[in-house]
Structure 1
Amino acid sequence: MSRHVTHLLRHRWQSAVASAIVLALTWHLLSPAAYGAHLGNRYLQLSSSTVGATTTYHLVIDLSTAGPLGSIDVKFCDSSPASPDPCQSPSGFNIKNAVLSGQTGQTGFSISPASTVNDLLLTRPTAPSTVGTVSYTFTGVTNPNAVGTYYVRILTYASTDASGAYSDYGGIAFAINRDLSISAEVPPYLIFCTGIAIPTLNCNSAVGDYINFGELSSARPSVGTSQILSSTNAKSGYNVTLSGTTLTSGNNAITPLISSDVSRPGTAQFGLNLRANASPTSGDEPNGPGSGTPLTGYDAANFFRFVPGDKIIASTKPDEMRRFTASYLVNVPKSQSPGVYVSTVTYICLGNF
C-alpha cells in the first residue's frame, strides 16, 4: 500500500492593531499675577492623540481658590502655556463646535457663544466655589493636523465672560502623534501525514509506506496497520476522506466491506477501522492532545468497512496533534483466485477554514 503524500497547507493574512501614545505634561505659568493662585494638579486626557482625529478631551483641574466662580477660559496654543506670550491656534485644531458632555465638581457651565476655534469659554451664573477637583468633558474636538507638542492655558474668573482679574491659572502640555501600527501574522495551517509508523506527534518521524500481508489464507484473517497524524487551526476543524481501491490481482478482486462487519475467515473481506481491535488483535485507540474522532463505519472496534469517498475522521474545531491507527483486515475464501493482490489507499485531509 502507498501512503498519501503529507499535506501542509499554509495561507497568510495580516491583521493590524493601532495604538496612540499620549504625552501629558503640566506646566506652571511663569508670570503669576499678585492676585491669582496656581491651579493644583491638572491634566488633559485625549481619547485619541492621532493627527487630525475628531476626539474627546477630558480636562481635570484642582481649584486652588475658594470664592465666586462664573467662567473658566481654556485656550489652546501652539507654542507656549504662559501668559502674556502670544497664543496662536494650532494648525487644524478646532474646539469651537465641541459639546460639553460631562462636568463634575463645579457644575452648571455651558459653552459660551464667544468661544473660538482655540479659545473655549465655559460660563455660568456666578456662584460660590470651593477648593477641590473639577472636570469637564468635551466631545467633537478636532486635533491639530501636525505632530508636535501643544499647550493649554487655563484661567478662572468670578465674572461670567472671563473679564476682570482671574482667580486661578495654570498650563498643560499635550502631544499629538501619528498612530503606532503593529502587525502580527497568525497563518492558517493544516498538518497531515501518513506512514506505517509515526512514533512521535511529529510528521518528521513518519516512516514507511508499504504493508505486506504475506500469504492469504481462508483459515485465518490477515491484518496490517498504518498511522495518520493531523492538526489544524482552521476555525471549523478538518475532515479526512478515504480514497483508493480494494485488493486486486489482474481482473480478480477481494470484495470490499460496503457495510461494517466483523472478521469472517473463509469469506472475501477487505476493510479497515480506526480503533483497537481484539478480533483479530490489531490497531490502537486515537491518541494525542487533539480531539479529532473516527466517524461512523470506522469507529467501532472489531468492525471493518471500506467505501472510497467516506469521511473517516473529523474535528469540528481547531485541533492539536491527533494520531490515528488504521487497522486493515483481509479474509479470502478457498475459491479465491491465486495471484499477487495489490491496493493503493489514499487519505485526503481538508481544513475547514
Structure 2
Amino acid sequence: MANNYFNYSATFTKKYFFKEKIKKHQIFIKKIKKQAMKKIIKIIFSIFIFLLIYNVCLAASSSNYQIWIDTLGSGGGRSASGNYQIDSNISIQTGDISESANFREKTAFYAIEAEPTVGFNIQSVALNFGQLSKSSTAYSSHTFSAYTNAKSGYTIRVYGQPLNNGDYTIQAIGVPAVDSKPGTEQFGMNLVANAVPIVGENPSGGIGQAAENYNIANKFSFQEGDVIAYAESFTYQTDYTVSVIVNINEQTPAGFYNAILTYEFIPVF
C-alpha cells in the first residue's frame, strides 16, 4: 500500500508541476499577444488617422501602369504611363478624353434627373355663337391648363379650319393680330383678357404665357399650326382662357356653321 501510495503521489506531483509550467507558459503567451495587439491597434489607428487627414488612397503601380484610386473627396485624378492615360473626374459633367496610341475613351459624370412629367387638361367643349350678325361680334371662350418638368418647357399649337357650312368658310384673320371689326368677315382668337368685346382672362399660375399675336388685349388672330401658348422651362400648372370671335359681312351666306379645333401640346426635353 505504501508503494502504491508513493507512486500515486509522485505521479500527481509531476502532473501538478507540468500544469503549472503550462499555465505560466500560457500567461506569458497572453502577455505577448496583448502587447502585439496593442501594437497592431496603434498601427491600425495610425493608418486610420492618416487616411482621415490626407483623405486619399495609395496608387497601385508597376513599370507598365499606374492607377490612382479616386479620392474620398469630390474630385478624381489623372493616371498615366508610357502606354496610357486616364483622367477621371466626378466634380464636373463634361468629363475628359483618355487616349494613347492604342485606344481613346471619354468618361464623364452626369446628374440624375427626375422622371418626365407632363400634363395637358382640356375638356371637349362646344362653343355656341348663337345667331351671327353683321352689326355685332359673336364671341365665346373655353379653358385648358398645362404643366411640365421638361427643362425646356412646352409649346401648344392650334389646328383646324374657321367656321364653315360645308360650302363656305368664314375668313380667318391670320397674322398679325387685329381688332375685332363687325361687318368684316373674321374668325380669330387670343389668350388674354379683353375689353372689346368683354371676354377672356390672362394666363394664371406657373410661367406659361400666350404666344405672339395671341397675347395682345382686344386684338385677335388665327392661323392653322400657330403656337398660341408656351413655357420656356419647367413650370407648375398654367391656366389659359381661349377667347374666340366671329364677325360676318353682307356677303356671308346664311346657313349652319361649325368648326373643330385641335390643340397640340408638345413638352420640350
Common fold by TM > 0.5: yes
In 2: Cα distance, 1:44 partner to 1:37 partner: 10
Q: How does 1:54-73 map to 2 (within 5 A)?
A: 59-60=47-48
The amino acid that maps onto 1:60 is: F
Give distance in 1, aligned partners of 2:168 and 2:265. 30
C-alpha distance in 2, partners of 1:270/1:103?
75
- Provide the rounded CA distance (Å) in 2 between the counterparts of 1:192 and 1:294: 15
Aligned to 2:249: 333
Q: Deviations over 1:158-208 (max 9, x none)?
A: xxxxxxxxxxxxxxxxxxxxxxxxxx994312211223xxxxxxxxxxxx5
Could you tell me which residue of structure 1 aligns to residue 181 of structure 2?
264
Q: Which has the higher helix share?
A: 2
Q: Over the residues paired in the alignment, what is the CA RMSD in angstroms?
A: 3.3
Unaligned stretches of 5+ residues in structure 1: 1-28, 46-57, 62-101, 105-133, 143-183, 196-207
**Paired position in structure 2 for 1:224:** 140
Is the 8 Å Cα contact of residues 220 and 331 (structure 1) preserved in structure 2? Answer: yes
1:277 to 194, 213, 217: 194
| Structure 2 residues without counterparts, runs of 5 or longer | 1-28, 62-111
Higher strand residue share:
1
Could you tell me how far 1:306 is from its partner in structure 2? 0.5
**What corresponds to 1:310 in structure 2?**
226
Q: Find 2:117's aligned residue among 171, 189, 194.
A: 189
Whether contact under 8 Å (2:51, 2:57) holds in the other structure is no
Q: CA deviation at 1:346?
A: 0.7
Q: How many residues get paired?
A: 190
Write the distance in 1 (CA, Å) between the matches of 2:54 and 2:230: 58
Q: 2:154 aligns with which of 238, 244, 257?
A: 238
| Alpha-carbon distance change, 303 to 60 in structure 1, aligned in 2, over 3 angstroms | same
Separation of aligned partners in 2, 1:245 and 1:34: 94
Q: Please list every run of at least 4 consecutive aligned residues from structure 1 whose deviation after the TM superposition is greater than 3 angstroms.
A: 29-45, 134-138
Q: Indicate if the aligned counterparts of 1:59 and 1:136 stay in contact, CA closer than 8 A.
A: no
What TM-score does the superposition give when structure 2 sets the normalisation length?
0.62
- Deviation (angstroms), 1:59: 1.5
Q: 1:315 to 1:42 in 2, by over 3 A?
A: farther
Is the CA contact 1:42–1:60 (under 8 Å) kept in the aligned structure 2? no
Whole-Å separation in 1 of the counterparts to 2:42 and 2:254: 97
Report the equivalent of 2:166. Answer: 250
Return the alpha-carbon distance in structure 2 between the equivalents of residues 215 and 331 of structure 1.
Answer: 11
TM-score by length of 1: 0.48
SS in 1 for 2:182: coil
What pairs up with 1:134-213 in 2 under 5 angstroms?
Answer: 138-140=57-59, 186-195=114-123, 208-213=124-129
Question: Residues 59 and 135 of structure 1 are in contact (CA less than 8 Å); yes or no, is this contact kept in structure 2?
Answer: no
With a CA cutoff of 8 Å and minimum separation of 6, indicate the structure with the bigger relative contact order. Answer: 1
Corresponding residue for residue 266 of structure 2: 350
Q: Which has the larger radius of gyration?
A: 2
